[in-house]
Amino acid sequence: MLLDRDGTLVEDVPYNGDPEKVRPVPGAREALDRLRAAGLRLAVVTNQSGLARGYFTAHDLRRVNARVEELLGPFDDWQICPHAESDRCACRKPAPGMVHAAARALGTTASRCVLIGDIGADMAAAAAAGAAAVMVPTPATRDAEVAAAPTVAADLPDAVDTVLARMRLVAAPDTARRPGRGTVLVVRSDAAGDVLVTGPGIRAVAAGAERVVLLCGPRGRAAADLLPGVDEVVECPLPWIDAPAPPVDPDDMRALTDRLAAVRADEAVVFTSFHQSPLPLALLLRLAGVPRISAISDDYPGALLDVRHRVPVGVPEPERALSLAAAAGYPLPADDDPGLRLRTDRLPPAPAAAGSPGYVVLHPGSSVETRACPVELATRMVRVLGAAGLRVVVTGGPDERELTARVAAAGGVDLGGRTGLDELAAVIARAGALVVGNTGPAHLAAALGVPVVSLFAPTVPFGQWGPYRVPTVRLGDAAAPCRDTRATTCPVPGHPCLSAVEPGRVLEALRLLGVGG
């Protein structure tokens, strides 16, 4: 657990070198003690440029920090950046250096940490390290920073409540099942990205089952074949999930029910996104004779569900899936990192045209218009990144060949229409970073541990759908008028949430992620 100091733990007194001016924020000691009681180790990560500016001495800083501990209890580690912004060091937030250093000092990795802070630099440092973050705004926090934060809390005690609630959500219940519980049918229909973010939940089920069969739709099949823990894949479109929706054919539904019965599942875990219902499939599973069914459902399920689970709004999709698995009795084992993962042994070689590893992949397109990068911006990115000495590989699907050819003509390598999902994963696996909108390749990168520059259209919440537990820099206007509309066609002319991004900011983001110097 990582915490900013000024404005988060104690009142922000600019360049404070006087321990008598230390004032904890309301409820700070009690909130920190709850974290300690939950078994979490605590570290402070704080920018202190007053040292470089000569406003106080190192001795003064030690006295102030000692007073903080006197009032708030001991911390397991302190990470302090003494540099001014002009020093361009690797530790000053929004750079991720202190987050990584604190994680090492606590005996863990950044991807298993949460940082609580009060400004955008705190959120950016956490994201660039692959850590989660919760913002506690103060009157000095800018509105744009609040809009871009993955999670926002009212105050420090509320932020601690949020962290502890998310821990409980994915924890093992008293009724957790033991390994070897027979065949479990897991379900995740929808697109490839949806299947990928469900991977941690599926791995949790696989850790406690003898056999796992995954039911998915045609758009998610290629991703399903790459998930660890899946023994068999059953592909079938579901009219209440897939888009565009196929017609409901009684014969197709009877055939699906027969296919489900042939799995001979001892139970089923139906994973869905926050706007989808598991109940139509639960009815078919009952008709197929599945004796135990678990799903997330706000609607009354009657006799269709044995485990009716509920999840607060805004929980990241991978944690949403993990929470359902835990509620069904399948917590993720302690030795399994909860991030996304792929069967890399199933990846083909990357196309020779991609060249040697270390390039930047730009994926400008998306199956959803609102999430695509404007073509003129993508073209300018290729030109600017190339001028900075970076090799750019442009990727896209078979229906995006014209787009990728136009973008790559500015100086990139065009792989548009030449990679299936597994080959795209192979290309991304060898990249230094991926530049992409909110679409499936972002989750491929997260599963491969490849840093992401996320051109994230705010039509859906970033905290729920952003790249999960991988170093990320978010770009774009998080407060644009399309925010939280879930629109698939841009409701505002000119795509302003992304079109205002300057290619130079992409270059800065790559450098923050350690790519390009």
What kind and span of H or E run contains 37?
A: helix 28-37
DSSP, collapsed to helix, strand or coil, labels residue 436 as strand
**Euclidean distance between CA atoms 22 and 6, whole angstroms:** 9
DSSP, collapsed to helix, strand or coil, labels residue 354 as helix
Cis peptide before 244 (omega within 30 of 0): yes
Q: What is the DSSP letter of 10?
A: B
Q: Return the beta strands (E) in 93-201 as ranges.
A: 114-117, 132-135, 183-187
350-354 long-range Cβ contacts below 8 angstroms, 24+ apart: 350/423, 350/426, 350/427, 350/429, 350/430, 351/415, 351/418, 351/419, 351/423, 351/427, 353/413, 353/415, 353/418, 354/393, 354/413, 354/415, 354/427, 354/430
Tokens of residue 6, six digits:
């000024």
Place of tokens 């509320």: 158
Tokens of residue 63, six digits:
């006295």
Burial environment of residue 154 by CB neighbours within 10 A (0 to 12, 13 to 18, 19 or more): exposed
**Euclidean distance between CA atoms 262 and 259, whole angstroms:** 5
Calculate the dihedral angle through the C-alpha atoms of 361, 367, 369, 375, rounding to the nearest 10 degrees: 30
Total Cβ atoms within 10 A of residue 376: 11
Total Cβ atoms within 10 A of residue 68: 22
Q: Kindly report the backbone phi and psi dihedral angles of residue 148, in degrees, each rounded to the nearest multiple of 5, phi listed first.
A: -85, -10
Largest Cα–Cα distance in the chain? 78
Give me the active site residues, please: 4, 6
Which candidate, 372, 408, 388, places its Cα nearest to that of 489? Answer: 372
**Euclidean distance between CA atoms 472 and 126, whole angstroms:** 9
**Euclidean distance between CA atoms 485 and 171, whole angstroms:** 32
3-class SS letters over 476-512: CCCCCCCCCCCCCCCCCCCCHHHHCCCHHHHHHHHHH
Tokens of residue 253, six digits:
């539904």
Compute CA distances 349 → 344, 405, 430, 485, whole Å. 11, 23, 10, 39
Residue type (1 letter), 303? A
